[in-house]
């Protein structure tokens, strides 16, 4: 076997792809693909995406690059690929970092850059039992956001982690900040990510007296995947922060 192609609905394709990118103990190409237009639609993209994915999976050039997302002839790393449009064929993008490469009309798989974050066979998460994962929720911040949802999650005692889709560089409202501190004190792990779509979330002075973890440039849904896996191994915020820098 040279590689594997997985077909998947596009709505949550990026989350499955990143989960596999972190947990599969292999160096072989794993290509995740789908279709923006259903099989019953005129000019459906499904057959072409499948053919190009098979070509990529059989390509020696795709070895050691982790899980790849391929639609519209474009190759994205699973870590960065995200759906950016509801209907357009070019929906899957990697933000400002760009594509890894293409599978073009000549059938060749061409790469122009390589993922540098740890993945697949080199990942510590490829050796863990991931059948039962900790419960992690996403809280979306906005102007005037209240603390109600965070307080509910804290009191319910069913949540192991919270990822905040913060404004700007991962910021939250004053009410949310107080509630997140209380949640952290109760044992819930907090990760700050951003709703912006591009750029890194860093440790900042405003939160220096907390154990909040900065998500680097992972979007909220990908940060949730990494936090769930991290919590299988540890609840230490310093160690989890290291995972967010490495993966």
Residue pLDDT tens, the chain, 247 long: 789 999 999 999 999 999 999 999 999 999 999 999 999 999 999 999 999 999 999 999 999 999 999 999 999 999 999 999 999 999 999 999 999 999 999 999 999 999 999 999 999 999 999 989 999 999 999 999 999 999 999 999 999 999 999 999 999 999 999 999 999 999 999 999 999 999 999 999 999 999 999 999 999 999 999 999 999 999 999 999 999 999 9
Question: Do 115 and 133 have their domain in common?
Answer: no
Domain that holds residue 87: 4-122
Q: What's the CATH code of the domain at 85?
A: 3.40.50.1170
Contact 33, 50 (CB under 8 A): yes
| pTM attached to this predicted model | 0.96
**How many other CB atoms sit within 10 Å of the CB of residue 34?**
22
Which residue, of 88, 106, 122, is where some domain finishes? 122
> Do 61 and 110 have their domain in common?
yes
> Which residues, 6 or more positions from 170, have their beta carbon under 8 angstroms from its beta carbon?
164, 192, 193, 194, 201, 202, 204, 214, 215
Give the chain's domain count.
2
């Amino acid at each position: 076997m040279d590689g594997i192609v997985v077909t998947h609905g596009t709505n949550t394709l990026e989350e499955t792809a990143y989960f596999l990118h972190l947990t599969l103990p292999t160096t072989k190409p794993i290509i995740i693909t789908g279709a923006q237009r259903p099989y019953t639609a005129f000019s459906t993209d499904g057959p072409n995406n499948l053919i190009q994915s098979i070509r990529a999976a059989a390509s020696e050039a795709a070895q050691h690059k982790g899980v790849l997302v391929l639609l519209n002839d474009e190759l994205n790393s699973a870590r960065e690929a995200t759906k950016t449009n509801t209907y357009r064929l070019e929906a899957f993008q990697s933000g400002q970092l760009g594509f890894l490469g293409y599978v073009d009309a000549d059938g060749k798989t061409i790469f122009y850059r390589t993922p540098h974050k740890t993945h697949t066979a080199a990942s510590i998460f490829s050796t863990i039992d991931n059948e039962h994962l900790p419960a992690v929720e996403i809280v979306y911040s906005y102007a005037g956001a209240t603390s109600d949802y965070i307080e509910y999650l804290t009191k319910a005692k069913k949540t192991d982690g919270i990822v905040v889709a913060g404004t700007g560089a991962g910021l939250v409202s004053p009410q949310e900040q107080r509630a997140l501190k209380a949640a952290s004190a109760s044992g819930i792990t907090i990760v700050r990510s951003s709703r912006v779509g591009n750029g890194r979330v860093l440790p900042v002075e405003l939160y220096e007296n907390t154990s909040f973890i900065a998500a680097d440039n992972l979007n909220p849904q990908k940060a949730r995947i990494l936090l769930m896996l991290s919590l299988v191994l540890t609840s230490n915020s310093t160690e989890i922060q290291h995972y967010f820098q490495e993966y």
